[in-house]
Amino acid sequence: MARREFLLKSGYLSIGFSLLGCTQGSNAATPTPLGEAADFSLDPQMAPLPDGSRIDAWLQVLENGQVRVLTGKMELGQGLKVVMQQVAGEELNIPPQRIDVLIADTGRTQNEGVTAGSRSVERSAMTVRRAAAAAREYMKQLAAKKWETDADALELTPEGVKNNSGTILSFTDLLAGQQLDTEIPQDVSLKPKDQYQWVGSPVPHPDLEKIVRGDAVYIQDMRLPEMVHARLVRPPVYDARLQSRDQAIERMPGVLQIVENGSFLAVIAEEEYQAVKAADALQKSAQWESGTALPEVRSWADYMLEQGEKANHPAPASGNAHHAIYSKPYVMHGSIGPSCAIAVYDEERLHIWSHSQGVYNLRATVSDMTGIPEESIRVTGVRGSGCYGHNGADDVGGDAALIAVAFPGRPVRLQWQRSDEHQWEPYGSAMRMELSASLDNSGRINSWRYDLWSDGHSTRPRGNAGNLIGARLLAEPAVFGGSGRVGGGTRNSEPYYRIPKVDVSDHHVAGPLRTSALRSLGAYANIFAIESFMDELAKKAGKDPLDFRIEHSDDERSVAVLEALRDLIKSEPAAAGEGLGIAFSRYKNSASYCAVAAKVRVDLEQKKIRPLKMWAVLEAGEAINTDGLKNQTEGGMIQSASWTLKEEVKFDTQEILSKNWTEYPIIRYDAIPETEVVIIDRPDLPPLGAGESAQGPAGAAIANAVYAACGKRVRELPIERYLFGS
């Protein structure tokens, strides 16, 4: 019995909703609400995009008078949509809930590159703010011309422009079918901050209620008419090649086609479970030529030194010198929902729905892989089930494109399996961090040397097909250009402290596993090492760890978050077996300030570490949405706790072993610590990105708390493995 028939006969109806309307033209009407069928018309060119210096590149008035914001950035769960609503609504005097936000789409929005590096608020949202302010002044000027009055005497309201007598001209009447096709002045006047109604307030994220209810929100939920389903069959290791397969799989129920191109192997079926069963049979029957064996690794600290570029380490300068080596393993993005994409091809044009963080980059890369011109490819962003960094989203988009081109005419939905996601996503690189420092007679640091070893931290597709894993499996395989040097691995490698002599060097390692950008890139490991080392130096100097950091800080904003953290934890008791640890960083040494404290319980006999509570003080300049900042910080601390205590990609010489949640454990709901976050708002300063600020100090705070609880300093991650030997 087919799944659909079974569900109907059992009295349960499963309905797949389309997520968005892909209506034609830049002057489209109101967006298609959830539950209505999507128009997936294959017109990748759409209307020509307005120049990015014009208001209508960022802001449009729809036929019903509703205002739409257009952003080339992707909503990842970081709350970008509500921030866009707030800043645009503030400048236009329109409640944020009445602002529609259209996210990344190569047919509709500007090319704003990749949504990464915690830059979306300080760059993209501020561009939207300026566009909204320009729109306000432009519409007031249009009304002033109609009424032959002074624009300064007019007011923008949610219904339109109002004059002193209370008469209102609606936005649609003012524009008379046109758009806001005028330049954004360089000196546009923003709304005075003392008149803010919504910025700085905890405006709820528009999608949270839908997510909690389990509504159709993600690409994984998206359904299109006449859609078929696909599954992949992957080789056991990266460069293994297909030798043979069972040709009878095509005759299995529901199977429409087997796509075979070199070692790229996929099955297409009418129903999803039919595709799953056929792919499973295909996986069991496929024979592969052995690929390159993976190395045996006992210690990442040793491996990175042995395989990487060499460094010379000077002897300690004095008896007050201190030296330590830290390391972290490969870590997964570990998205709870495996990656998914939908693609449809009509033998001329290709349309892809994807949760890629760079839709224009994906378009260029798919063009390079398939030979289809970029202008004939459209990539529409649909949020995925959560990821900070380069997980499998681009790869599955490329895979879906390959399958759709081989099976034109009907939309193809490709859902990766859990094993696909765990084995084939690009991981965060393993790293080694070696530190040496000396103290003067007063216990202050007078010299600092830092060496780090890492593979590259970004292999995002940027027009090069070799960065898509599927393209490397084709009969004419695309060539992977490599991960480059350390790249983002150097992020936060320089201590954000006042130290007379600092020497920082990076050393590239061509590691055995696929790597790319994972939330905060190298900052997590660098801050873990630096802030663990600061605690060790504080102990050597006989000083309180928090006082020691303040003593080495000459930035008053750093001192403010540390002092605020002191106030949060000053009365916190610690029983036997419990410990309190702290850490601090300024993300990228130029973005948000974050100080974190962690309280843990360590049971050496039972081999258990329980994070009890975590505190954070965050300062990100002007706080647009205080709840959003708290959410990001809470989530960052919990994710970091999981990385620090548990996570490690395991493999043997033949394959990746971490294929599921049993073999790659993450922190469970019943182990999540209580969290408390304080936001220091600086409305007089520009807003700063905060989505990646907590990971580094949170990990170091936990390591320092473990030391405080049991007296054992763990310098290799994950802590549970190296503390308990498991």
Q: Which one of 3.30.365.10, 3.30.360.10, 3.30.70.260, 3.30.2000.10 gives the CATH number of domain 55-204? A: 3.30.365.10
Q: How far apart are CA 706 and CA 581, in angstroms?
A: 8
Topology (CATH level 3) of domain 431-724: Aldehyde Oxidoreductase; domain 4 (3.30.365)
Contact status, residue 675 vs residue 613, Cβ threshold 8 Å: yes
Q: Which one of 3.20.20.70, 3.40.50.10140, 3.30.365.10, 3.30.160.270 gives the CATH number of domain 219-291+333-424? A: 3.30.365.10
Domain boundaries, the chain: 55-204, 219-291+333-424, 431-724
Q: How far apart are CA 314 and CA 21, in angstroms?
A: 62
Q: Give the pLDDT of residue 4.
A: 46
Same CATH topology for 55-204 and 431-724: the answer is yes
Q: Which helix (H) or strand (E) holds 613?
A: strand 608-619
Checking if the pLDDT of 13 tops 80, the result is no
Structure tokens at 438: 């000396």
Q: How big, in percent rounded to 5, are the helix, strand and coil portions of the chain?
A: 35, 20, 45
User: What would you measure as the largest C-alpha separation in the chain, in angstroms?
Assistant: 83
- pLDDT, mean over the chain: 90
Does pTM surpass 0.85?
A: yes
Checking if the pLDDT of 1 tops 70, the result is no
Q: In sequence order, what are the beta bridge partners of 137? A: none
Match 């729109």 to its residue by tokens.
135
Q: Stretch 525-533: mean pLDDT, rounded?
A: 98
Q: Residue 47 to residues 25, 73, 178, 295: CA-CA distances in angstroms?
A: 5, 20, 14, 52
Checking if the pLDDT of 6 tops 70, the result is no
Q: In sequence order, what are the beta bridge partners of 352? A: 343, 379
Half-sphere exposure of 663 (CA within 13 A, CB side): 13
Q: How far apart are CA 717 and CA 602, in angstroms?
A: 16
Q: How far apart are CA 230 and CA 99, in angstroms?
A: 36
Q: Give the pLDDT of residue 460.
A: 93
Q: In sequence order, what are the beta bridge partners of 582? A: 597
Checking if the pLDDT of 9 tops 70, the result is no
Question: Residues 476-513: pLDDT tens digits?
Answer: 999 988 777 888 999 999 999 999 999 999 999 999 99
Position 40 confidence tier, pLDDT thresholds 50, 70, 90: low
Checking if the pLDDT of 337 tops 80, the result is yes
